Amino acid sequence: MRKKKILFIAPYPFDEAPSQRFRFEQYFPFLKENDFELSFAPFLDHKTWKTLYSEGKVMRKIIGVISSFLKRFLLLFSLYKYDYVFIHREASHIGPPIFEFLIAKVFRKKYNYDFDDAIWLPNYSETNARFHRLKAYWKVRYCIKWSGSVTAGNDYLANYARKFNSNVFVIPTTIDTENHHNLEIDYNQEKMVIGWTGTHTTMRYLDFIVPVIKELEQKYDFEFLIISNEAPAYHLKSLRFLKWKRETEIEDLARISIGVMPLEMDIWSEGKCGFKGLQYMSLGIPALMSPVGVNTQIVSHLENGFLPLTLEDWKLHLEKLLIDRDLRKNIGEAGKRTIRQRYSVLANESKYLNLFK
């Protein structure tokens, strides 16, 4: 019997972008075990991807993007070989939805469209601010409209998708608790570590709780650990920066005693899939997450985590966790159970299998 073939179309190189790694790439071994043959086609190759997010090098960026468009165009002529097409976020990193249109309307190939953020809203780095209009954020509605089915990371995103397509499924961003997020944290460590992980583009959310950290460090001896691709500019005596590394990301996360995920109450945050919190909870780290969007579905306040709203809330719960080992352990273990039951790869494998049936 011939193996069914799936073509995965994505913006970034394999095993590089968190949205791809935790949305669908970590399901590849499972799909292969179930007799699917997989092909992966990123828009950007490694060289162009590294160049695009660096300063300057305009001509190199232009040449790399033109080459990416050419390869994407040639890919269209191999679509006939595949039984299923899966597009994550966009078929081309910039520009209108040309390839989605060609796939659906010219080559008559149904595709599943997958997204995990409110990507119809402008969001860009300062490095490429002048080029942000090339992203054509408006194209998301058409990518959804032309698709055969849609998979969204949470209900907020799914409700947006249902304006344009009735065949919409929610598949949460998930954690591989067997092979990746599988370490145990030490609830008995002497010096507490309040921690945050993320890219420099989202570090601004920490501005809100910095005054609380300043207050607490006057009374308690702890470390405020930031794991990121760039160093923070905060002036805190408890601050420690650790540059994010793929090779040590789980070991570095496991240093954290208390994980924080502050967000702003805006529509962009509504579309987030709570990934930082999921990472903390998967390792048994008690998590404090702003009560916005999917966070309120992941966390049951005071049971498997905390949903602080005001600065007073943040200070109250951080202080309790700093001094109460049993509370950290009980909340951390409850959070870990939540991940295994609802947000792990194992708990969601059947959804991907059904998607390709």
Give the type of residue at 210.
Answer: V
Taking the C-alpha atoms of residue 335 and residue 289, their distance in angstroms, rounded to an integer, is: 12
Give the largest CA-CA distance in the chain: 68
10 and 142 assigned to the same domain: yes
In a domain, 41, yes or no: yes
Taking the C-alpha atoms of residue 90 and residue 149, their distance in angstroms, rounded to an integer, is: 14
The pLDDT value recorded for residue 272 is 86
Domain range enclosing 206: 192-343
141 and 215 assigned to the same domain: no
Q: How many CB atoms lie within 10 A of CB 198?
A: 19
In a domain, 178, yes or no: no
Query: What global pTM score does this model have?
Result: 0.89
Strand arrangement, sheet containing 258-261: 239-243, 222-228, 192-197, 258-261, 287-289
Chosen domain end from 171, 205, 236:
171
Write down how long the chain is: 357
Q: What is the mean pLDDT of the chain?
A: 93
22 and 76 assigned to the same domain: yes
pLDDT digits 0-9 by tens, 129-148? 455 567 789 999 999 999 99
The encoded tokens of residue 202 equal 């989202």
In a domain, 53, yes or no: yes
Is residue 285 within 8 Å of residue 252, measured between CB atoms?
A: no
Q: How confident is the model at residue 345 (pLDDT cuts 50, 70, 90)?
A: very high
